[in-house]
Structure 1
């Protein structure tokens, strides 16, 4: 294969078209690396070897155009979502992008949930939430691609529903698409390659076609970037603490009204009004939580943000949008989560009802939902 052919092809790691002229643009590959087999861009090389992803800009309109083209194909659509950030990783309006093509919902990262979670209840919860979002699905499969949990069922579901069709894999950034596809390559294809995987959002930059043994393809699409997720607005080195990599251990706090919890300097929970009750936090174990009285909360934040209240560090605070307040009323007799996209959720353990405030970076999705656990 000539150098020219390599440049005209796509990166074997992220799918972006290769080019040798602009090192600050997607697909850059140095001349000295053109004979590398497989050919991967400099960004993928740095992710694989140094866990370092340079920032590149991909036009979001191109992502939407790529998704919109699926409706004109005859395919099985595999929509991968992250159970830790379910509402934030679900593609809104997916139905209009995929047309009449069937959708298999693969719920990844179930290994992050506390041990002992009832999987049948979890599957029913997912089906109900998907229906609420207007998504018509063939089936729900629970798995962890990283830990090889439930992957046999993913393979079975593809076999049951694919027929003689291509498979489009879609999802938001950082839901584990490429990790799961690398498992599919191993099971369905003789291709000796792997997609680039990392903890950084947006690792896949263009559609990557993986030929299957029966002449059809698995097509990995770029992750949709949703600014309403905490993972998209924090500095890169904060992702290490924000994204859990092992089962979450719930943190339970017995609170009186007029008490506050700080989750680093990423979010703040104020218990404004209600009977004494407990709240369970389901967040990364690497994030510190500090409790104080509501009357002292503003002063504590002003004096200790970025130091005791971290991450992020003091010098990074300006990189994150300023907090905005969300006032939420938890109705008596309900089993409710307070969900903060990309950060986790707070379960209200009592059915007594409560009035709470959530302070989170502006634009981050905050909502009430039926309890996951």
Structure 2
């Protein structure tokens, strides 16, 4: 197959345009696979041969066009969000794209929270946050797709609510969507009845229709890329330090005003004004926390970024957006989190109030929210 043919050819499995440059993008096919007939992308190959879906991502505009097509169907929508990055991974305005189709919210990675958390309180917190986004929910499922915790409730809820409908699975990148899809394939799908020469029906962009044993499909949509998440802008070799793999160990600091705490070289937390109080940091264990005086913060960063203050390295920082400041006012008697999308959050239980500055790469979402824990 010539390069021109490859560029204009489509996958026989999902219909996406084939490409050979980027394995993490839709339509990737290794050069050796171009000699086979029919030609299918690597993602479809893994579904067909291993009952396993691979994670791919598309930009926001393409994703919203794909999402908008769901409103014209009669489907159940499964929206997977990352509890560690809830506000960063939930799809804003989801309801207007999916129309009247019901939404099942699957909240993944609950295994990262400290043990003993009240699940009813957690569910209520999720319900409130989803309502603020205008999402009408059939149900909320708390689970860990990686560990299998709570997955039986996902299956039960699908069986209860799906009826005679297809299932669209939507979510941002790095929320565990492929892990959950793979569990659904093993539990639901009958791939033996599918012809390898046929295209999955009704595909748009790189949405993959995975046949179920009752004639309907699980439609695996690509992960949406949100540039307001720290996980989307850090170098790939830094991701393992940013994304926690096991239960987060909260770290408590008693700070006086005019003190600063660096989270590696990815963020800076300034306690600008207020009485001495505690701040609890919920971030991945692979990130170094370093305290200093606010008056020395700029100098310290300039001299030690990428070494004492790491990750990332000084060279990698040059490739990332410059820092920008977010000023937050915590009201007296409030219990809130300072949320940094993709990086974690800082719990503030302030009886006296506090003035806080957060410095992060430009574009990263920073906000105050009701306390999760």
Same structural fold, with TM-score higher than 0.5 when normalized by the shorter chain: yes
Whether the aligned pair in 2 keeps the contact of 1:28 and 1:43 (CA below 8 Å) is: no
SS of residue in 2 equivalent to 1:335 = strand
In structure 2, C-alpha distance between the alignment counterparts of 1:303 and 1:17, rounded to whole Å: 48
Whether the aligned pair in 1 keeps the contact of 2:283 and 2:343 (CA below 8 Å) is: yes
Match of 1:9 in 2: 11
SS of residue in 1 equivalent to 2:85 = helix
Match of 2:280 in 1: 280
Match of 1:339 in 2: 339
> Cα–Cα, structure 1 residues 322 and 43, in superposed 2: closer, same or farther, change >3 Å?
farther
In structure 2, C-alpha distance between the alignment counterparts of 1:288 and 1:131, rounded to whole Å: 35
SS of residue in 2 equivalent to 1:138 = strand
In structure 2, C-alpha distance between the alignment counterparts of 1:18 and 1:226, rounded to whole Å: 23
Whether the aligned pair in 1 keeps the contact of 2:12 and 2:38 (CA below 8 Å) is: no
Match of 2:249 in 1: 249
The alpha-carbon deviation at position 37 of structure 1 amounts to 10
Match of 1:79 in 2: 79
> Cα–Cα, structure 1 residues 161 and 42, in superposed 2: closer, same or farther, change >3 Å?
closer
In structure 1, C-alpha distance between the alignment counterparts of 2:57 and 2:135, rounded to whole Å: 29
Match of 1:19 in 2: 18
In structure 2, C-alpha distance between the alignment counterparts of 1:177 and 1:38, rounded to whole Å: 25
Whether the aligned pair in 2 keeps the contact of 1:102 and 1:138 (CA below 8 Å) is: yes
Listed one character per residue, the Cα deviations across residues 254-293 of structure 1 (whole Å, up to 9, x for unaligned) are: 1111110000000000001111111000000110000001
Whether the aligned pair in 1 keeps the contact of 2:11 and 2:27 (CA below 8 Å) is: no
Match of 1:49 in 2: none
Whether the aligned pair in 2 keeps the contact of 1:10 and 1:18 (CA below 8 Å) is: no
> Cα–Cα, structure 1 residues 28 and 87, in superposed 2: closer, same or farther, change >3 Å?
closer
In structure 2, C-alpha distance between the alignment counterparts of 1:109 and 1:264, rounded to whole Å: 23
Alignment TM-score, normalising by the size of structure 2:
0.87
Asked if 1:68 corresponds to 2:57, the answer is no
In structure 1, C-alpha distance between the alignment counterparts of 2:259 and 2:30, rounded to whole Å: 56
> Cα–Cα, structure 1 residues 368 and 191, in superposed 2: closer, same or farther, change >3 Å?
same
In structure 2, C-alpha distance between the alignment counterparts of 1:59 and 1:120, rounded to whole Å: 35
Match of 2:145 in 1: 145
> Cα–Cα, structure 1 residues 291 and 38, in superposed 2: closer, same or farther, change >3 Å?
farther
In structure 2, C-alpha distance between the alignment counterparts of 1:43 and 1:232, rounded to whole Å: 25
In structure 1, C-alpha distance between the alignment counterparts of 2:334 and 2:206, rounded to whole Å: 43
In structure 1, C-alpha distance between the alignment counterparts of 2:246 and 2:117, rounded to whole Å: 15
In structure 1, stretches of 5+ residues that fail to align are 46-52, 193-204
In structure 2, C-alpha distance between the alignment counterparts of 1:341 and 1:44, rounded to whole Å: 33
Match of 2:319 in 1: 319
SS of residue in 2 equivalent to 1:312 = coil
> Cα–Cα, structure 1 residues 243 and 125, in superposed 2: closer, same or farther, change >3 Å?
same
The alpha-carbon deviation at position 350 of structure 1 amounts to 3.2
Match of 2:173 in 1: 173
Asked if 1:160 corresponds to 2:160, the answer is yes
In structure 2, stretches of 5+ residues that fail to align are 1-5, 47-53, 193-204
1:156-305 matches, within 5 Å, as: 156-191=156-191, 206-305=206-305
In structure 1, C-alpha distance between the alignment counterparts of 2:315 and 2:251, rounded to whole Å: 28
Root-mean-square deviation over aligned CA pairs: 2.7
Whether the aligned pair in 2 keeps the contact of 1:80 and 1:107 (CA below 8 Å) is: yes
In structure 1, C-alpha distance between the alignment counterparts of 2:240 and 2:350, rounded to whole Å: 32
In structure 1, C-alpha distance between the alignment counterparts of 2:99 and 2:146, rounded to whole Å: 30
SS of residue in 2 equivalent to 1:181 = helix
